[in-house]
A and B are shown apart, each in its own frame.
Chain A
Amino acid sequence: MTVTHGEDDRAILLVHAYVDGELDPANVIAIEQRMAAEPKLAAEQARVVALRRALRERLPQEAVPPGLEARVRRTVGLTGAPPRPTWLALAASVMLAIFASSGGTWYALQPSAGEGTAEAVVAGHLRALMAPQPIDVASSDGHTVKPWFNGRIPQAPRVVDLAQDGFPLVGGRVDVVGRTPVPSLVYGRRQHLISLTAIPDASVATNKSQSARGYNVIAWTADGVTYWAVSDLNPNELQTFARLFRDAP
């Protein structure tokens, strides 16, 4: 019994690693077969997936305290003390608050385009991350990825090679936004993935940056196509990625 215990333990660990996308292809196949045959392992997988989803969706996004960055920069001597707020600065912040709240109203009145699409592209990114493979076609070669989209969607997306800049192409997949199948390119950055979804619709404000469900999202429009970049990568590097893609010939 002790021997099988060790073997069972190993199988459980493999199920967790499978959900985390940490297994090599041979082990993926092996554990998929075992999960199909052994309800105990399938149940473990379902529990782990449910737990991961609950953690991701239910836990509130940790907000960094407002003064922390300035405090850290002061500690290491990057900046002096912040200027004391004068009545002028206070007045300006009041104006900003008024401006922001009127912007909020505008959003409430115009619910469709931006917000819904942002939700949809983030959902596509999440779904892909939960799958054992975040892509349908795996290739770092744009000449393989681009033709793959032909026949699956009306218009293949623009594919840009950014490997030299540290954003290698990983592959592509088809997401569904609303009821429209749209192409998503997947780029890598160290251990992070960036989903770049191209939607033939120019109705979104250019170069909008936001975060949704803990993911950073940047949208911009070029040639009648709105591009949505989604990643858990930090906002600065995601901006860099967006700029490189936009400026590429």
Chain B
Amino acid sequence: MSGEDTRARFERIVQPHLGDAFALARWITGDRADAEDVVQEACLRAFRAINGYAGGNTRAWVLTIVRNTAYTWLARNRSALVTAVDDLAATEHANANLAEASAGGTYAANPESDLIALADAAKLEAAIATLPSQFRDTLVLRDIQGLDYREIAAVTDVPVGTVMSRLARARQRLIRAIEAGE
């Protein structure tokens, strides 16, 4: 494949997703300047891998590379911030189960959904930023970037069932954070 083809493929496959790539990197690193570095590095990786790209969902493919690059970047530059997978498993265990978490409070009039609707941007940002990384990534990919479950499963390299439970837990934590902050 000639250099020209590679470039055309890059423009077609990677470039349309720069906005999503930057947004995801920004959520993972928590910093716009760092996110730019991550996107640049991820694009270089994508460019080098592009002739091996077998087709399918281009956005999921690009975001997978961005996410992996972001974590490598974090491990290199700020190792303390990365939640180890073991810690996360413990967190998931220690969590009360979903049904119990959602059983708090009264159900009838449901004033809490009004409360949620009023949450301001700063509070939402802060609540998302404090989620454990796997929960946060799943929530960002679904509720901010609009990927479907199968795409998220591909990007985060877990089964769809795990996507579902992480997403539900992430949303319940967010809802509790909003209610607690009121």
Contacts and interface: CB of A to CB of B under 8 A. Distances in A.
Contact of B142 (A20, A39, A58, A237): A20
A11 interface: yes
Contact of B164 (A8, A13, A75): A13
Q: Is the interface of B mostly helix, strand, loop or mixed?
A: helix
A8 B10 contact: no
Interface of B: 7, 10-11, 15-19, 22-23, 26, 32, 36, 39-40, 43-44, 47, 57, 97-100, 102-103, 105, 107-108, 110, 112-114, 116-121, 124-125, 142-144, 146-149, 151, 164-165, 167-168, 171, 174-175, 178
Q: Is the interface of A mostly helix, strand, loop or mixed?
A: helix
Contacts of B18: 64, 68-69, 72
A12 B100 CA distance: 10
B143 A51 contact: yes
Given A5-B97, A234-B16, A78 B10 contact: yes
- Number of chain A interface residues as a range: 35 or more
Contact of A20 (B108, B149, B178): B149
A178 interface: no
A12 B44 contact: no
Interface string A39-59: 110111011111111111011
Nearest to A13: B164
Given A9-B99, A13-B98, A16-B168, A52 B143 contact: yes
Given A9-B99, A20-B148, 4 more contacts: A39-B107, A47-B102, A59-B124, A59-B144
